[in-house]
Amino acid sequence: MQQCKRGGPTRSLENGYVNCDTDVSSFSCLCCTIWFHFSDKYLRPIYLYAAALERELWSSATINEEVLRTINVIFTNFAKLHTSEAATLCIPQLVAALKSGNEAAQESVLDTLCLLKHSWSTMPIDIAKSQAIVAAEAIPILQMLMKTCPPSFHERADSLLHCLPGCLTVTINRGNNLKQTMGATNAFCQLTIGNGPPRQTKVVNHSISPEWKEAFTWAFDVPPKGQKLHIICKSKNTFGKATLGRVTIQIDKVVTEGVYSGLFNLNHDSNKDGSRTLEIEIMWSNRSMLFTGV
């Protein structure tokens, strides 16, 4: 059998092997070694390549595209590796390459992350959850790719965004022109998603333009597909609570866009001219961004 420069076997991909005829990185030779000597001891070389990946990615200012392609080849042909701890340890480096690499590097990373994602439904729950949590660090990067990268990226980026755990943060900033026919306006807002318990802002007394600037956060293991955010604005008075209007917002849009904000009309029979509004900001992010206050 013909040998490559670093001692690995040489065959073409058409025959089911990796081509190491050229002066390639150690990763391609590692791939050859795994291909020809796959056994229960496969984890050790994969751990070595995970460590080598970190060294190669950060040893220079550029991302090694060949390394990323080789990782993709390994995970494509060795599905058993998807559940390994080494696979989980590789994900932060893939996310880093997705952030800093060129389009070719980003495309390889998207392919590899999608490969792992497709295995989550069949691997042990704890491993799938661990990988998804680590991969969720890519959420803001994926959202940016949806806006700036070629359309060919969109399907993969969107599919990842809609399966990664994250947080929905809704900030109620202020209300505008919350006049009532009778009495002073003592406004507050209630927020609900699905069948969950409502969240509520403080009551701002005697103001038709109340400022709340209150944020509410919901954590999800996967984005709440098809669900809506319901906001009811009410006024508290001596005789009870009067409804000033309602806002309903589809959550799916913000998962892709990252931030969705603006003036929202309060739907109510007494607000036909649309003068009553709420200033709202909605953000979908990963959990680390929430905890670090980014």
With H, G, I as helix, E, B as strand and everything else as coil, classify residue 287. Answer: helix
Whole-model pTM: value is 0.77
Measured distance CA(225)–CA(179) in Å, rounded: 35
- For residue 161, which of 294, 285, 291 has the smallest C-alpha distance? 285
Residue 250 CB contacts under 8 Å (≥ 6 apart), including other chains: 228
Measured distance CA(179)–CA(218) in Å, rounded: 31
CB 223 within 8 A of CB 284: yes
* pLDDT tens per residue, range 111-137: 999 999 999 999 999 999 999 999 999
* pLDDT tens per residue, range 225-284: 889 999 999 999 867 788 999 999 999 889 999 999 999 999 887 666 668 999 999 999
CATH number of 166-292: 2.60.40.150
Residue 39, Cα to own-chain centre: how many angstroms?
34
At residue 91's C-alpha, the angle toward residues 85 and 92, to 5°, is 115
Q: Per-residue confidence at 8, pLDDT binned at 50, 70, 90?
A: very low
With H, G, I as helix, E, B as strand and everything else as coil, classify residue 112. Answer: helix
β-pair partners for 199: 191
Measured distance CA(149)–CA(161) in Å, rounded: 15
Measured distance CA(95)–CA(98) in Å, rounded: 5
